[in-house]
Amino acid sequence: MTDTHVHDGGAHAEGKLWGGRFTGASAPALERLSRSPEQYFSLVPEDVAGSLAHAGELERAGIITGEERASIAAALEQLVVDHREGAIRPLPQDEDVHGYLERELIARLGPLGGKIRAGRSRNDQTANDLRLHLRRVIPEIAEGVRELTETLLARSREVEGVVAPGFTHLQNAQPILFSQQLLAHAFPLARDLTRLENARLACMASPLGAAAMAGSTLAGDQRAMAADMGYDDVVRNSIDAVSSRDHVVDFLYAGAMLGADLSRLCEEICLWSSQQFGWARLDDAWSTGSSIMPQKKNPDIAELARGKTGRLIANLSGMLATLKSLPFAYNRDLSEDKHYVFDTAGTLRTILPALTGLVRTVGFDAGAMRRQAVQGFTLATEIADWLAEQGLPFSEAHDVAGRSVVHCEARDIGLEDLTAEDLRAIDERLTPEVLERLTLESAVARRTGANGTSPERVREQQAALADLLEASRSASQNGRSPQ
């Protein structure tokens, strides 16, 4: 098919679904403002899915026959193919995806194509289209998150036993296993998967049949129509069905939170790959260079992903601002919902595979991490803890440990270099037994609390994360998608 179909018969032939009560033409400026952006026409598969379900409802209501429904269904399914292959495309006068498809349907079926509009409105159509779209794209994004999380888990197992400095306030704090640091980025992503799944579940009630806002006299079995589209239920209130967008906000919040979590990982990759840290070596295929400085290897993936987080946050803020103070029921302001959804989904689908490739291929320097793990007197807490175990109040133990640091600074040595003679000079309560604690292995191994950095606890964390990922993948495979 081509895009040259012409049908004389009013506004519907022009790609508009209204116009009968108007006697004059629309102003060009209105036309430009009112027409959907090109990207909105990508909802053709979702709009056709809703039309197929609606055709079944029209047959049950006696508006069309079974034979007519079959003809409409065949034409609709062909429209999806023709649109995908570029055999048809929206014309400038097509105001939105609904008018575009109805124009094409009428061009193919004549007056029968015009029957499809009975009992529905663009208000419930657009609400339905976006719910179906979210149900399709959320699992795709979640799969990207799972792949990145699984990559972090795999890398944490590869660096088992590598000790690195942990940070607070970006200052060396205490020794940790680098495996645990990687897991500290992976667990938030696992929670992001839960948020994405909740956003998908928020889209599992059908708004179709609410029509403009009061419901349809022709939609007698909305639950059957909902089941045809793979929904679990029907939105219980017709006004709410066409005007609510909290499910959109749920997705945008999940996307913004995911972006923030990715940005934190990106920030650390930028630090790790700097000359000052020297922990990471970027793979050539997943980094870029400088146009003037030949020696440079830049973490552009991490920087670009970090920068795009601002868009994800802005999309959430923009949607919430759009919803604020809207009167019931439908208002054209709500057409902004697709802009925010498309941008967030597209941004995440671009970021995730690139960041996964970066994490999968980056090289880690265990020696550099270990050398830095004792810098900044990270073993000071070991002295305080040992004194507390001997019965000294921690307030006093903390003071003694602090004076130990001052002593080491004066001698330009580390705590790990202290001798029995040094201990006597600092405080008589420091006996040589404390020296056994002033090693990286001891500091890490003794943190055996449920979520600590000891090797056995980190292995448990890895196993727990693997279970979370398996549960997430299982839930995704069992979820239903649009028919």
Residue 322 · residue 312 · CB < 8 Å:
no
CA atoms of 403 and 27, how far apart (whole Å): 80
CA atoms of 435 and 419, how far apart (whole Å): 8
Nearest to 226 by CA among 255, 256, 203, 205: 205
CA atoms of 461 and 335, how far apart (whole Å): 44
Determine the straight-line distance between the first and last CA of the chain, rounded to whole angstroms.
24
The radius of gyration of the chain's CA atoms, rounded to the nearest angstrom, is 31
Q: Return left, alpha or beta for 293; rule: phi > 0 is left, psi -120 to 50 is alpha, else beta.
A: beta
Active-site annotation holder among 26, 83, 169, 291? 169
- Cβ neighbours of 393 (radius 10 Å): 10
- β-strand partners of 164: 176
The residues near 406 (Cβ < 8 Å, ≥ 6 apart) are: none
Q: What's the token pair of residue 367?
A: 């020696």
Phi (first) and psi of residue 375, to 5 degrees: -70, 150
Nearest to 109 by CA among 75, 73, 70, 67: 75
Please list the helix, strand and coil fractions of the chain in percent, rounded to the nearest 5, in that order.
65, 5, 30
In the chain, count of helices (H) and strands (E)?
18, 6
Active-site annotation holder among 36, 71, 243, 290? 290
Nearest to 476 by CA among 138, 134, 128, 206: 138
CA atoms of 49 and 53, how far apart (whole Å): 6
User: In a 3-state reduction of DSSP, which class is residue 12?
Assistant: helix
The residues near 244 (Cβ < 8 Å, ≥ 6 apart) are: 235
Catalytic residue status for 290: yes
Residues with catalytic annotation? 169, 290
